[in-house]
Amino acid sequence: MNNNKAQHMIAIHSHLDVRRNLDQAKTVLEALIKREEKKREVMESEVSLQRIQMKYKNNAQLVENGLVLGIPPAPYKFGSSEDDLGDSDDMTASRSYASQNPPFA
């Protein structure tokens, strides 16, 4: 009978070890999932930033090409900003801005 109690205690202890290991594995997997989600968010942000940079570069190139051809730049809004890039009535300020701030290289 004493042997049965010992085996029963070993089985309970073994069950608790398995349960603890499963809980630890669950915690590790949750941490890995969070890390992968963060990596995905960072990658999405980087792609979004690259798209914005390309759009800005293209817009800046169009403005620069227009200035070279003598076409006054039309005021436009970039993104959700309420600020105009330049004042269409003041060509010297626009030309100065374009020459001092070349597009991304």
Whether 37 maps to a domain, the answer reads yes
78 three-class SS: coil
- Note the pLDDT of residue 6: 83
Specify the pTM. 0.47
Whether 7 maps to a domain, the answer reads yes
Burial class (CB in 10 A: 0-12, 13-18, 19+), 60: middle
Residue-level pLDDT, tens digit, the chain, 105 residues: 588 888 888 888 898 999 999 999 999 999 999 999 999 999 999 999 999 999 999 888 888 887 777 666 566 555 555 554 455 555 554 455 455 555 554
Whether 24 maps to a domain, the answer reads yes
- Note the pLDDT of residue 101: 54
Q: How far apart are CA 93 and CA 75, in angstroms?
A: 13
Whether 72 maps to a domain, the answer reads yes
Q: How many domains does the chain have?
A: 1
Whether 105 maps to a domain, the answer reads no
Task: Give the Cα-Cα-Cα angle 80, 103, 92 (nearest 5 degrees).
Answer: 85
- Note the pLDDT of residue 29: 98
Whether 28 maps to a domain, the answer reads yes
Write out the residue range of the structural domain in which residue 53 sits.
2-100
Whether 55 maps to a domain, the answer reads yes
